Every structure is written in C-alpha cells, then in structure tokens.
Amino acid sequence: MENNVPKENNVALGHDNVLVPTVADVCTPVYLVKDEATARRIAEAGGLAQAVDGWNEVQLLGFASNMKSDSRWQKLVFVASYGDSFRRNAYIRTALKQGGYRCYIYNLLRYAESDESLKTVLGEMQTREGLLRHVLCDCSAYSHKYRREEEKLINLMTRPVSTGFAQMDDVLMGGLEPGLCVIGGVSSLGKTALVQQMADKIAMGGNDVLYFTLEMGETDLQDRSISRLTYELSEVVDQEGRTQRGYGAKCYAEIHQTSRYAGYTKDELDLIAEAEREYDRYNKHLFFIEGNGDVDVSVVRRVVARHIEVMHTRPVVIIDYLQLLAPVNDRYSDKQNMDVSVKKLRVMARDLRVPVIAISSFNRSSYNIKATLSALKESGLIEYSADVVIVLQLQGIGQDGFDADVAIKAVPRYVEAVFLKTRGARIGKKVRFEYQCAYNYFREMGADEEVSLPGMLDTVGTVAEKNRTEGACTRKF
C-alpha cells in the first residue's frame, strides 16, 4: 500500500532537545544490546538485535555499514539499548553518528519485562509514532546526561590534525579541528603550495585528505608533490656542517615533462624514483576530486558524507579554491554566492565534524598592502563564518622602504602566515616561512633566525637585494 512506502528520513527536535525520528510510516530498528542472551530474546520476539559488548568505534561502524549495504534494510534505524549504562549508550550513539548513521537511545527491556510486552513494543517501534513515543518517553529525563556525555566523547574522538608545521600547530592549539579554515593571499605567494604541503604531511600521518581541485588537474598536483620531495630528499651536509638542499632536485616542469628524462643523469633519475616511492607510501590517503565548474558545496557535502560512510574515517577537506566553486544560484551576485557557499561549508564542517581548508584569493587592490580580512575577495561572510583565517603576505610588507615588486621576485621568497582569526587569544600571531617556489617547498623559520629581506631599502635608498652579499638590511626577529 502507498502508506507502507517509506519516505526520506529526517531528524526533528523534540521535547527537552531530544533528537527524535521523523521517518514516515515504516522503519527497521536494530537494537544494539549488551549480551547474546538479550539479543536472542529480541530475535525470538521478532526483532533485529546485535550484542556489542566491548565493541569499539571501528567495529560498530563496520557492522552498521554491512547492515546498510543489505537492500532489505533500506530504512535502518539503530537503537542503543545497552541497559541502564547511559555512558555506554552515549558511546554507541556517538560513534554511529560520527559515521553518518542514525542512532537513538532506548532501554528496551525496561519497558518490556515479559515476552508478550516485548513483542508489543517491538511492533510499535516499527512505526513512526511508536518510535517517537518510546524514544521520548525513555530519553527525555536523561537527555542532559546523554548530551553532556556525547560532547565529551566527540571531543575525545575528534583530535586535532597536525598541519605538518610545528609553529602553525602551536598557534592552532594542536592543529586543525572540525571547522572552516580559510587561507588567503596574493598571487605567487604559494597558497596552493603551502596547502598541498600540509595535505601531504596530513596524509603521511595516516589521515585521509579529500582535495577538491577546481583549477589544476590531479596529475599536476601529484607532480608538484614529487618535485618538492626531490628537493627535500636532496639534503646533504657540506664540509662546514651546514645542511644544503637542491642538488639534483627537479622543478614541476622537469617532473611533468617526461621527455626531459632522457637528458638526466643516473643520480637525478634515482632521486626522482626515490621521490616517487616516498609519494606512493602515503598517497593512498589522498583523494583528488577534479572540478570543471560543476562542483558546488552540495557536491562537496555528498562526497564527504559518502567518504565517512564507506571509509569509516573523517577526512580533512580542502577546497582549491573558494572562488571557483560553482554558484549556488545563477541569479545571485558573486558576493551573494560566496556568502552562501561559505555558510554552507561552515555548516558542513560542523555537521560532519571535519576540518575544512578553503583557499581564497585577494582583491587586486590589496596586493601591496598588509593583510586584512577585507582583502579577501568577495569576503562577505568569511570574516564571520570562518573559524580560522590565515593570510599569507611578504615579510616586511607595510614597513617603510619596502618594495613588494622586488621581494616577490626573490629566491627564496620570505613569506609569513598571519592569523587574523583563530581560537583563543592568538589573533595577530605570525609564522615565518622560507618559500622555495621552484620546488613548492615551505620551511618554517626559527624565531631567532636572521634574514636579509629582499625588497627593503637601506639608508642610502638602494634596494637591499642588490647588496645582500654585503649583509645590508639584516633583521633579527
């Protein structure tokens, strides 16, 4: 009959802020209980049950995934019925919610002491009205306990993800947490290079990365990573004990254009092969999604949710870059579309509990001035919705006598990441980098490291870059 066709599942807010099901007409509850005896009793009464005593998050998500893959259980609802242990029930529910599954808490045996009453309750729980009534009856009095316990469990399950840069992790109080992080900067300062290096370091740590590349192709990004690895692996120590890099390293074009390989020496080919092996070691955690004007926030959300469901892990999500997301509405202005996209990315990060890094460009008028939130292109809600805003700028910008046109051409480029918005009282913190643009490589600089800033005018009015060998304009930070 038409009434027996389940409609789309949603969740509504019930009494005492308890999440209650609004599944239409029919659902299939699976009761997650403590022991085999309880599971058998429920099965004999006509229900579905599984003993989960001692199961961890991975085991719970694996079981849920197997059940969901069975076409017989398309309207599956998980019900944590682990006796009176609200902590264990909260753990089960939280673990499944983290995997994108719907799970409610209901102490089934408290209200079904006899086999006859158990059959009655099981029958009622297969309808929307019965499930709603029973869940509310059981959970409303304990909702504050479950909520508090779930928040604790979520915080334990969601640890900060290291960026691969110690000083950045320190400013971020441990690394990337679920939320929206926007990284902006002028052209040629290495926004994509920095974020891609972070992505590689995150993948090296065993964390999945979903990289939505809306400008470059997957092979382009992979070749940039291999180029950087040739630079990192070319490290040698000279006779004076100083670490030197770059001998035999190859830039992106020298990696990408394989026709050049015939002219490389054996040492150079061995270095490339070593870099490729290193990349293969962690690229199983890198997932590239190419876009061609057809990827909007709704597509991003579907891909991320599916990854969580299939892989049972929460990835770091990267958008490269924000302004190339497909418009939400063709009738909206660029600013309106950006506002909606940023807001939806923030909501996705919160709902799916994933860190999201979005790269953003600068307004053209902002290229030669100090970084501010207003410099972000079509910034709109970025200032208000983003949890973290990091802007790249040239070291020395805004100081008297600084020439950005000279500094932007320097090798290496001296760049700093300015934290314009972050957690705690760390706004305005800076992390300095040496950027080897030929190899897409960023190196954090020490707090006491001295550099001669290219583009800074000396007292005579000449550009310090011309006199770097003479030690002009040496600064200590």
pLDDT of residue 86: 67
pLDDT of residue 357: 97
Number of domains in the chain: 2
Same domain, 245 and 134: no
Mean pLDDT of the chain: 80
pLDDT of residue 172: 93
DSSP, collapsed to helix, strand or coil, labels residue 435 as strand
Same domain, 254 and 134: no
Dist CA 276 CA 287 (whole Å): 17
How confident is the model over 49-68, as a mean pLDDT? Answer: 85
Burial code of 356-395, b = ≥16 C-beta within 10 A, e = fewer? Answer: bbbbbbbeeebbeeebebebbbbbbbbbebbbbbbbbbbb
pTM score, whole prediction: 0.69
Question: Does residue 470 form part of some domain?
Answer: no
Same domain, 307 and 359: yes
Listed residues 131, 157, 183: the one ending a domain? 157
CATH number at residue 88: 3.40.50
Same domain, 148 and 188: no
Which of 87-91, 99-103, 179-183, 422-426 has the weakest average pLDDT? 422-426
CB 50 within 8 A of CB 76: no
Same domain, 148 and 263: no
Same domain, 255 and 115: no
322 or 67, which is more confident: 322
CB 348 within 8 A of CB 100: no
Question: Does residue 290 form part of some domain?
Answer: yes
Same domain, 208 and 357: yes
Dist CA 31 CA 201 (whole Å): 40
73 or 342, which is more confident: 342
Q: Which residues contact 213 (CB under 8 A, 6 or more apart)?
A: 221, 288, 289, 290, 291, 320
Same domain, 151 and 186: no
Question: Does residue 462 form part of some domain?
Answer: no
At 128, the pLDDT band (50, 70, 90 cuts) reads low
Same domain, 172 and 144: no
At 10, the pLDDT band (50, 70, 90 cuts) reads very low
Dist CA 396 CA 417 (whole Å): 12
Same domain, 252 and 391: yes
Is pLDDT at 363 greater than 50 in this prediction?
A: yes
- Torsion angles phi and psi, residue 77, rounded to 5: -130, 125
pLDDT of residue 425: 59
Question: Does residue 388 form part of some domain?
Answer: yes
Q: What number of H helices and E strands is found in the chain?
A: 15, 19
Query: For residue 42, what are the β-bridge partners?
Result: none
Which of 36-40, 286-290, 442-446 has the weakest average pLDDT? 36-40
At 244, the pLDDT band (50, 70, 90 cuts) reads confident
Same domain, 147 and 240: no
pLDDT of residue 476: 34
Question: Does residue 217 form part of some domain?
Answer: yes
pLDDT of residue 474: 34
Residues of the chain above pLDDT 90, percent: 37
Question: Does residue 457 form part of some domain?
Answer: no
CB 275 within 8 A of CB 226: yes
Q: Which domain holds residue 96?
A: 2-157
Same domain, 117 and 172: no
pLDDT of residue 469: 35
At 78, the pLDDT band (50, 70, 90 cuts) reads confident
pLDDT of residue 362: 76
Listed residues 115, 136, 157: the one ending a domain? 157
Neighbours of 9 (CB within 10 A): 15
